[in-house]
Amino acid sequence: MKSLLWICTALMTMFVAGESLICNTCRVGLGPKCLFKSTETCSDPQFSCYKGKVDFNIIEWMTLHNRGCLSSSLCNQTVSGSLLGANYTITRDCCYTDLCNGASSVQLPLTAALGTALAASLSPWAL
């Protein structure tokens, strides 16, 4: 009976841990540079990772970026407002897998990858 309890506990831990989403965080980013990077595990009402951008309409060169966890109800929205006479626009884009809001990676398109693989296999130097 005791081993059955341990097995149930282990299974429950796996399911609870499997439901937590890990996101990159950046509280303040100026341009492409993040000033305070880290990761966080999203809490229950926050099931999305997001990338956010604040554009100030009066100062074209000033754009702030941030990343983190966000409630799904606030995802993929654009909000406009005014602060001390300066208009701003906040854009938040969400994703739903671990660390999906990190730096973009360079990925080879599928057709280029298949073409390269085919050329390599037909090459006289192929094994």
Q: What is the per-residue pLDDT across 8-37, written as a single tens digit (0 to 9) for each?
A: 344 444 444 456 899 999 988 877 788 888
Residue 30 lies in a domain: yes
> Per the domain annotation, does 121 fall within a domain?
no
Closest CA to 53 of 65, 61, 44, 42: 65
120 belongs to a structural domain: no
Catalogue the E-assigned strands of the chain.
22-30, 33-34, 37-41, 48-56, 63-70, 77-83, 86-95
CB 91 within 8 A of CB 65: no
**CATH number, domain at 70?**
2.10.60.10
Spatial CB neighbours of 58, under 8 Å, sequence gap ≥ 6: 85, 86, 87
pLDDT digits (tens, 9 = 90+) for 40-98: 999 876 789 999 999 988 777 778 899 999 999 999 999 999 988 889 999 999 999 99
Tell me the three state secondary structure of residue 22. Answer: strand
Three-state DSSP class for residue 47: coil
Which residue did the predictor score with more confidence, 113 or 16? Answer: 113
Q: What is the pTM of this model?
A: 0.62
Position 126 in a domain: no
Residue 108: domain span: 22-114
Answer yes or no: is 64 within a domain. yes
Is 119 a domain residue?
no
Is 6 inside a domain boundary?
Answer: no
Domain count across the chain: 1
Separation in Å, CA 39 to CA 35, 88, 113: 13, 27, 32
Asked whether residue 102 is assigned to any structural domain, the reply reads: yes
